[in-house]
Chains A and B, each alone.
Chain A
């Protein structure tokens, strides 16, 4: 086969040691390209260039790995590469932007599966000597993280995709079960490190880790998914790292550490944006508790309006801020939103978007959807950037967001979301809330914003309502 010719060609010039050096240098180049690629992600102008570098790094790493003297046959590798390329291409081509959270969960699952299988195969083919405790730690971590991230991500995928209900699934005695699982994992891993030859225990570890992934994510509600996604991202990265330790492969350690760092940073940002601790997200079962009974009495009344009436308010407004939430994704309203924004901008109004860090189902979800619709990214503002501007805003339009604008987070100590930083839409002159119906949001918490004097509700599908705004404005101009 061709590879043998290439290898022979190489080995006429280079001995084993030189090939080893060559591969090491290729991995170093790949690592540098990965880091530069992520560095370029700091601005949308340079981001694509950065990804091109990362891709080049990946190509360099793969090609040079094929020269590794441990690689003796290429046939199975090629089969895997072809299957994966086709599957990856199809997934990338067919995934709509609204399904990006599911796609990301699925890719965490795939990455983790690869890591876990590499670890199991290594152990299964007898690469771990009974006295190699260090290697056992690395392979054990690899299989543990890989297996639990695989099933955990599959559950997250099913929840985001609607295959499983998004609400937290809890059962009696859940915490004792989890504690038992953790105890089994710790005990079997501990003994394996002491005696790496205990192969039955190794498969017990892998199997129980699979179960742990399920039991970890099942009780977490869909609204908490941004945190879970970030955490699974970190696990997948650390799993790749462990593989690097097991194979003594530096590029794996570096790339895994980058992925892990990204997951950890995003997790911290997400939990801060919800004012909750990681423990609370993982074991709190948010949304399952019934907080309504303790919440204080809501005063005021709901004021419903038609899209035409709301358009009249927009017509005289000078500055407008739009607050998108998961509801915008559900009704695919981003394109209608863009049309409205264009019309308002054309009329000389100031329009900006206020995006809460946990709006949607994954970090940055809303930004991607609005970018898809062609909204200029300069109009997309973070919470910190825009929160002080609400008092000087004429109209805030809330599209399918709920908890991230609930004033109870600021002043109602009995509320489960008390302390969570929110967008201060209630400070603007008029708040328009686009909502399907009066049912409370995902967390099941009543929102007193809807009862405030400056708040009007426009019920119905967000996409239709936004189209109605544009028609209403056009009629007023005609």
Chain B
């Protein structure tokens, strides 16, 4: 196993992550946590490979399938739930334009 190439990728990705995430304002820290959580649900890819592999070895078959199906389900829950909830939150962050306009017209009455 070539260890160096993945290590390079890891270190460089960590730097990119640090720089990108440092610019996220505290205002959005909860959606950020929720979003990175959804993104790390990419482990579903690993779970898919394990769940879909050759399960012909009878001695390990049942347990291996149970574990990998749970893994796929858990990761997918995060993926679907994470993105939906992040979007639900982000939708709420808005400028209060209509309300202020209302307030002005009311104040003018």
Contacts and interface: CB of A to CB of B under 8 A. Distances in A.
B17 A262 contact: yes
A362 B29 CA distance: 9
Given A111-B40, A114-B71, A263-B36, A367 B28 contact: yes
Of A346, A357, A365, which is in contact with the most chain B CB atoms at under 10 Å from its CB?
A346
Nearest to B42: A255
A380 interface: yes
A247 B46 contact: yes
Interface string A246-266: 011111111111111111111
Interface string B9-49: 11001101110111111111111111111111111111111
A65 B35 contact: no
Interface string B42-84: 1111111111111101001001110111111111111111111
Nearest to A375: B96
Contacts of A38: 17, 20-21, 24, 32, 35-36, 39
A334 B80 CA distance: 27
Contacts of B47: 80, 114, 117-118
B1 A250 contact: no
B17 A41 contact: no
Contact of B52 (A73, A236, A363): A73
Interface in B87-109: 87-96, 99-100, 103, 106-107
A94 to B, nearest CB: 10
Query: Which secondary structure characterizes the binding site on chain B?
Result: helix
At the interface, is chain A mostly helix, strand, loop or mixed?
Answer: helix
Contacts, number: 381
A253 B6 CA distance: 7
A258 B43 CA distance: 13
A372 interface: yes
Interface residues of A, number: 117
Interface in A40-67: 41-44, 47-48, 51, 54-55, 58, 61-62, 65-66
24 contacts: A44-B28, A47-B28, A51-B86, A62-B44, A70-B52, A76-B65, A88-B81, A92-B84, A92-B88, A104-B33, A108-B37, A115-B46, A115-B71, A132-B1, A134-B1, A245-B10, A248-B6, A252-B45, A254-B13, A256-B40, A261-B17, A266-B29, A368-B92, A376-B99
Contacts of B25: 42-43, 382
A124 interface: yes
* B-side interface size class: 35 or more
B33 to A, nearest CB: 6
Q: Give the one of B46, B86, B103 with max A CB within 10 A.
A: B46
A366 to B, nearest CB: 9
A240 interface: yes
Q: Specify which of A118, A243, A247, A342 lies most central, judged by the most chain B CB atoms within 10 Å of its CB.
A: A118
A233 interface: yes
A382 B28 CA distance: 11
Interface in A6-45: 30-31, 34-35, 37-39, 41-44
Given A92-B88, A259-B40, A65 B48 contact: yes
A371 B89 contact: yes
A48 B84 contact: no
A259 B37 contact: yes
Nearest to B80: A88
A264 B9 CA distance: 18
Contacts of B84: 88-89, 92-93
